[in-house]
């Protein structure tokens, strides 16, 4: 026992004289100190000031009260309207993209600001003017004047930033300034319902309040994203942040810099998602694409795209989901002739469309169909035969039905008068008052035509029937209903 104890003691002495942490080469991820030092001078802190109504709290007396007359001269707000203006300040981040002083940030960082100041890493504090902003992508471009050229950074190819790649955020969290955090791309193509063109890069690089508008760099020092949003508790990051991809931001920034406004492409069609049932009705192996539900008669697609077309590719880019199309169209230059691949009557066709310009405030490059509110039930008797197969009752449209459902005089079709509770048609949003205009992409003008096409589908053992329906106001969409 003694020998073992002595041996153990000797071993402990040997270990103590040879530290286990001593290594010939540094271990762990490579330091980004040199890269951070190189990029930091192009990252700025942004302070914005907004004048808002304020005032010193003071009791209000009923009109005509003698107390009011007595204390009026003591009211610190007297003569200043409803209350003196106070300053509300906010802090954010941004980055310089040109030597002559153009700066990119988030629109929400400077929105409504009366004064904007830029804090440079060399200690200077310069006033900034708003060159342009875009609500849809939450981007803004500022301009500062400097007697000397400024350090700047460039956009990289955000599509090359893959899940698992290292990224670095530099910004002004909590007003601390010059903070560097490191993480990876956690996910891509995130839709957080912040706008019509959502396609965020998700990262676990720490992003907190004040980081908004700051750059997300790849390891080559190129900007692959603009830090915009976080999932937070109490204002602190929970490790999930979102950045606008550089490839989405770059054309917007270029337009804001050059024109002071965006100039997005416009296709002029209404679209809807290709659901599993719609794909099944079209014999498609997947739900790729965006289905055209209407074509603006004043738009660039009139005479080229048809209702019922499924847009599969736009300008050589695959439309994997409906929401991809508005973003792709918006990024395309106005006036360009663009190749478009569509599925039409079961066959793929190639067409060319010269894009218009999206100019109306509040519009998007695409407008998806919306669900109509449920109108009251009609007294028209349903046709026989469709109830068992689909849970639907339909009838010819007459003046009484137009009056009852408020159907526009220009809207025509076969009216749905009854929908069986719990049926697939009911679950899919078929309601009395909707008008059927197509069945399996064939126009219908009578109850008999609908019955014939539904019977044909049932005999052919097709699992679903595709209806084009129009609401009383004239908005259309496609609904695929399973056969009973």
Contact 142, 181 (CB under 8 A): no
Q: What is the DSSP letter of 155?
A: B
Cα separation, 205 vs 230, in Å, equals: 11
Q: Residue by residue, what is the 3-state secondary structure of 176-239?
A: CCCEEEEEEEEEEEECCCCCCCCCEEEECCCCCCCCCCCEEECCCCCEEEEEEEEEEECCEEEE
* Active-site residue, from 90, 179, 186, 212: 212
> For residue 23, what are the contacts with CB-CB under 8 A and spacing of at least 6?
none
Instruction: Establish whether 283 is a catalytic residue.
Output: no
- Say if residue 146 is exposed, middle or buried (CB neighbours under 10 Å; 0-12, 13-18, 19+): middle
The percent of the chain in helix, strand and coil, each rounded to the nearest 5, is: 20, 35, 45
Cα separation, 354 vs 333, in Å, equals: 10
Residue of 93, 114, 115, 90 whose CA lies nearest to 103? 93
Q: Which two tokens stand for residue 456?
A: 């044909």
Cα separation, 175 vs 47, in Å, equals: 9
Instruction: Establish whether 212 is a catalytic residue.
Output: yes
> For residue 11, what are the contacts with CB-CB under 8 A and spacing of at least 6?
none
Cα separation, 292 vs 278, in Å, equals: 13
Distance of CA 141 to the CA centre of its chain: 19
Instruction: Establish whether 133 is a catalytic residue.
Output: no
* Active-site residue, from 108, 237, 309, 387: 108
Q: Which of helix, strand or coil describes residue 274?
A: coil
Angstrom distances, CA of residue 85 to CA of 15, 51, 108, 109: 70, 6, 21, 20
Angstrom distances, CA of residue 91 to CA of 108, 110, 142, 344, 383: 11, 9, 15, 52, 65
Distance of CA 27 to the CA centre of its chain: 40
Contact 419, 382 (CB under 8 A): no
* Active-site residue, from 138, 198, 315, 471: 138
Give the catalytic positions in this structure: 108, 138, 212
């Amino acid at each position: 026992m003694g020998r073992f104890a002595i041996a153990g003691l000797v071993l402990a002495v040997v270990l103590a004289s040879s530290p286990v942490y001593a290594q010939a080469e540094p271990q762990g991820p490579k330091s980004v100190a040199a890269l951070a030092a190189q990029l930091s001078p192009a990252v700025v802190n942004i302070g914005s000031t907004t004048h808002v109504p304020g005032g010193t709290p003071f009791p209000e007396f009923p009109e005509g009260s003698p107390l009011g007359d007595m204390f009026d001269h003591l009211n610190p707000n007297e003569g200043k309207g409803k209350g003196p203006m106070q300053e509300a300040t906010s802090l954010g981040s941004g980055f310089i993209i040109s030597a002559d002083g153009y700066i990119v940030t988030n629109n929400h960082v400077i929105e409504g600001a009366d004064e904007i100041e830029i804090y440079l890493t060399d200690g200077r504090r310069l006033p900034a003017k708003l060159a342009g902003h875009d609500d849809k992508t939450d981007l803004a471009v500022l301009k500062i004047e400097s007697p000397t050229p400024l350090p700047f950074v460039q956009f990289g190819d955000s599509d090359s930033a893959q899940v698992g790649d290292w990224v670095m955020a530099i910004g002004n969290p909590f007003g601390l300034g010059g903070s560097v955090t490191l993480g990876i791309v956690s996910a891509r193509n995130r839709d957080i319902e912040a706008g019509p063109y959502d396609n965020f890069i998700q990262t676990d690089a720490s992003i907190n309040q004040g980081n908004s508008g700051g750059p997300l760099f790849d390891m080559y020092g190129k900007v692959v994203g603009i830090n915009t949003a976080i999932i937070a508790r109490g204002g602190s990051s929970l490790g999930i942040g979102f950045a606008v991809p550089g490839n989405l931001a770059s054309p917007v920034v270029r337009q804001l810099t050059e024109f002071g406004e965006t100039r997005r492409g416009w296709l002029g069609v209404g679209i809807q998602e290709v659901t599993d049932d719609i794909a099944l009705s079209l014999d498609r192996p997947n739900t790729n694409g965006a289905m055209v539900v209407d074509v603006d008669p004043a738009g660039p697609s009139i005479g080229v795209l048809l209702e019922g077309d499924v847009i599969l590719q736009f300008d050589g880019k695959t439309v994997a989901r409906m929401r991809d199309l508005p973003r792709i169209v918006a990024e395309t230059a106005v006036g360009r002739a663009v190749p478009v691949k569509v599925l039409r009557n079961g066959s793929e066709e190639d067409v060319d469309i010269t894009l218009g310009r999206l100019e109306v405030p509040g519009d998007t490059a695409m407008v998806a169909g919306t669900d109509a509110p449920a109108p009251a039930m009609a007294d028209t008797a349903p046709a026989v035969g469709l109830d068992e197969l689909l849970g639907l009752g339909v009838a010819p449209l007459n003046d009484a039905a137009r009056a009852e459902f408020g159907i526009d005089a220009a809207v025509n079709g076969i009216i749905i008068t009854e929908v069986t509770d719990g049926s697939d048609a009911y679950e899919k949003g078929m309601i009395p008052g909707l008008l059927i205009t197509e069945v399996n992409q064939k126009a219908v003008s009578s109850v008999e035509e609908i019955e014939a096409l539904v019977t044909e589908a049932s005999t052919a053992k097709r699992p679903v029937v595709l209806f084009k329906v129009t609401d009383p106001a004239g908005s259309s969409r496609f609904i695929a209903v399973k056969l009973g």
